[in-house]
């Protein structure tokens, strides 16, 4: 992946936007346990950041995937995990299926407002008894004339409190396992859709996370994304976008964390010298930076495959697995080398430590990535 002047100009424009529109509010949003998505997303939409790869006929930029990498790396530098995750849900987790498989009518009515930032979107897959094992979902949609009638619950839904519509994975037939699921666009204003709980979390506190319930919710059958019964396959395809953007975000976050730690250790003295002059400290950070470089380059390889429209299931799983594990170590060492001040809530390291933990759990836990890989790799 070649980073051209165009990429660098784009990187600069995202960084300027973040510094002006996001960074000054992060502490307040973290404190309040939510950020105002309906204020921020239209600004992101006007800047063109919510539909980089999407068709211009729906307001997208028609760019290739390399720009998504740059966007992810820059958003990952934001001083919290919650806001970047919420934006990534909008761009790369809840809308790729609609763009790829949705009807023209659905795209005009739901994708275009999401790209403009006028509609806030969630991806609703997980249930209380179905997280890692997506095939265990029980929320169902039963056909009644030309409508679906939906009943069930979804758990841990990012943006769920503020969402205008959901990309909902449901069972649409009695077939078990991977068959008989569909993705349906469900406007949250539909009678019977309720936010049953706003959930309290360890980290990513500025992003709202909801439990949602569905009781006799009626939506037109035309709201089905793609083919009835193809929902699982389509969601697995959508998960590849989710896992890659997560890896890009994490590279941005780790890069900034190491930069800030090095800056701190250059001016923090102990035993008569800056802490960074201790070989142990310098080598440890150098080693983490080297691993980060490997991940960054690996991500670029993934992006090239995306640009060539190749299957990236293996690569996206590897990128997310490695990113989640490396991020946990980076967050831990950054806190360690800050000492007591690193443990204080006023220091960025405390929030980064909390927020970093999610990547190995959400969007498919590390062990689920290993499950996918072990079934495809040389051990299959
Ligand atoms: C903050 C947050 C935001 C989220 N946002 C969304 C969202 O927007 N939309 C959505 O649909 N979901 C969302 N999720 C859900 C997330 O994707 C799930 O939590 C995740 O997939 C794990 O599912 P689970 O919590 O049910 O864990 P379980 O399935 O109960 O698994 C528990 C643990 O068991 C281990 N494990 C699981 N399977 C295996 C295996 N085969 N082999 C070995 N070990 C295994 C893993 O360590 C795993 O962490 C979010 C979660 C969080 C915490």
Q: Please tell me the distance between residue 317's alpha carbon and the centre of ligand 1 in angstroms.
A: 15
For residue 177, what pLDDT band results from cuts at 50, 70 and 90? confident
Averaged pLDDT for residues 88-92:
98
Residues 10, 72 contacting (CB under 8 angstroms): no
Cα 250 to Cα 296: distance, rounded to the nearest angstrom: 10
pLDDT in tens, 190-231: 999 999 999 999 999 999 999 999 999 999 999 999 999 999
Q: Please tell me the distance between residue 365's alpha carbon and the centre of ligand 1 in angstroms.
A: 6
* pLDDT above 70: percentage of residues in the chain: 100
Q: Please tell me the distance between residue 364's alpha carbon and the centre of ligand 1 in angstroms.
A: 6
pTM of the model: 0.98
For 136, 140, 274, 294, 358, the CA distances from 153, given in Å and listed in that order, are 13, 9, 54, 40, 22
Cα 41 to Cα 59: distance, rounded to the nearest angstrom: 14
**CB within 8 Å of 184: residues ≥ 6 apart:** 141, 148, 150, 167, 168, 170, 219, 223, 224, 225
Q: Determine the angle formed by the axes of helices 231-267 and 65-75, rounding to 10 degrees.
A: 50
Query: Please, how many CA atoms are within 13 Å of residue 142, restricted to the half-sphere of its CB?
Result: 8
Catalytic residue status for 242:
yes
Cα 202 to Cα 81: distance, rounded to the nearest angstrom: 12
The pLDDT score that the predictor gives to residue 175 is 85
Judging by beta carbons within 10 Å of its beta carbon (0-12, 13-18, 19+), is residue 85 exposed, middle or buried?
A: buried
Q: Is 207 in the pocket of ligand 1 (CB under 6 A)?
A: no
Q: Is 364 in the pocket of ligand 1 (CB under 6 A)?
A: yes
Judging by beta carbons within 10 Å of its beta carbon (0-12, 13-18, 19+), is residue 202 exposed, middle or buried?
A: exposed
Residues 295, 240 contacting (CB under 8 angstroms): no
Closest to 206 in 3D by CA, of 52, 373, 83: 83
**CB within 8 Å of 62: residues ≥ 6 apart:** 53, 54, 55, 56
**CB within 8 Å of 277: residues ≥ 6 apart:** none
Q: Which atom of ligand 1 is nearest to the CA of 363?
A: 17
Pairing of strands 273-274, 269-270: antiparallel
DSSP-derived secondary structure letter, 110: I
Please state the φ and ψ torsions of residue 235, each to the nearest 5 degrees: -70, -35
Count the helices and strands in the chain (H runs, E runs). Answer: 13, 10
Active-site choice (127, 242, 310, 367):
242
Ligand 1: residue of 126, 199, 205 to mutate (most ligand atoms within 8 A of CB) is: 126
Cα 14 to Cα 96: distance, rounded to the nearest angstrom: 21
For 105, 263, 276, the CA distances from 329, given in Å and listed in that order, are 46, 19, 18
For residue 379, what pLDDT band results from cuts at 50, 70 and 90? confident
Averaged pLDDT for residues 14-43:
98
Q: Is 204 in the pocket of ligand 1 (CB under 6 A)?
A: yes
Q: Which atom of ligand 1 is nearest to the CA of 360?
A: 49
pLDDT in tens, 275-327: 999 999 999 999 999 999 999 999 999 999 999 999 999 999 999 999 999 99
Rounded to 10 degrees, the C-alpha dihedral 313/315/319/325 comes to 80
The pLDDT score that the predictor gives to residue 176 is 81
Q: Please tell me the distance between residue 214's alpha carbon and the centre of ligand 1 in angstroms.
A: 21
**CB within 8 Å of 139: residues ≥ 6 apart:** 127, 150, 151, 152, 153, 154, 168, 169, 170, 171, 214
């Amino acid at each position: 992946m070649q980073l051209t002047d165009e990429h660098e100009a784009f990187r600069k424009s995202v960084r300027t936007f973040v510094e002006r529109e996001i960074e000054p509010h992060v502490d307040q949003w973290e404190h309040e346990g939510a950020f105002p998505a309906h204020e921020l997303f239209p600004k992101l939409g006007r800047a063109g950041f919510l539909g980089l790869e999407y068709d211009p006929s729906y307001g997208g930029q028609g760019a290739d995937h390399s720009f998504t990498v740059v966007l992810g790396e820059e958003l990952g530098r934001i001083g919290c995990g919650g806001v970047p995750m919420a934006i990534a849900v909008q761009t790369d987790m809840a809308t790729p299926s609609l763009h790829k498989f949705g009807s023209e009518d659905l795209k005009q009515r739901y994708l275009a407002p999401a790209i403009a930032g006028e509609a806030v979107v969630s991806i609703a897959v997980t249930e209380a008894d179905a997280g890692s094992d997506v095939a265990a979902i029980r929320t169902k949609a039963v056909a009644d004339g030309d409508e679906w009638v939906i009943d069930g619950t979804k758990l841990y839904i990012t943006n769920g409190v503020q969402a205008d519509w959901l990309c909902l994975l449901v069972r649409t037939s009695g077939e078990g396992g991977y068959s008989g699921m569909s993705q349906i666009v469900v406007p949250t204003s539909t009678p019977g859709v309720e936010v049953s709980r706003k959930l309290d979390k360890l980290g990513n506190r500025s992003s709202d996370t909801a439990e949602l319930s569905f009781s006799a919710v009626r939506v037109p059958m035309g709201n089905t994304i793609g083919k009835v019964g193809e929902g699982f396959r389509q969601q697995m395809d959508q998960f590849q976008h989710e896992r890659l953007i997560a890896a890009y975000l994490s590279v941005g976050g780790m890069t900034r964390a190491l930069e800030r730690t090095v800056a701190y250790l250059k001016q923090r003295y102990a035993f008569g010298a800056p802490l960074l002059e201790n070989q142990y400290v310098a080598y440890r950070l150098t080693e983490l930076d080297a691993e980060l470089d490997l991940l960054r380059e690996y991500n670029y390889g993934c992006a090239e495959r995306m640009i060539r429209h190749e299957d990236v299931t293996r690569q996206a799983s590897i990128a997310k697995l490695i990113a989640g594990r490396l991020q946990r170590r980076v967050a831990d060492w950054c806190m360690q080398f800050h000492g007591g001040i690193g443990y204080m809530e006023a220091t960025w390291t405390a929030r980064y430590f909390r927020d970093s933990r999610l990547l190995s759990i959400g969007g498919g836990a590390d062990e689920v990535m290993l499950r996918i890989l072990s079934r495809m790799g040389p051990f299959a």
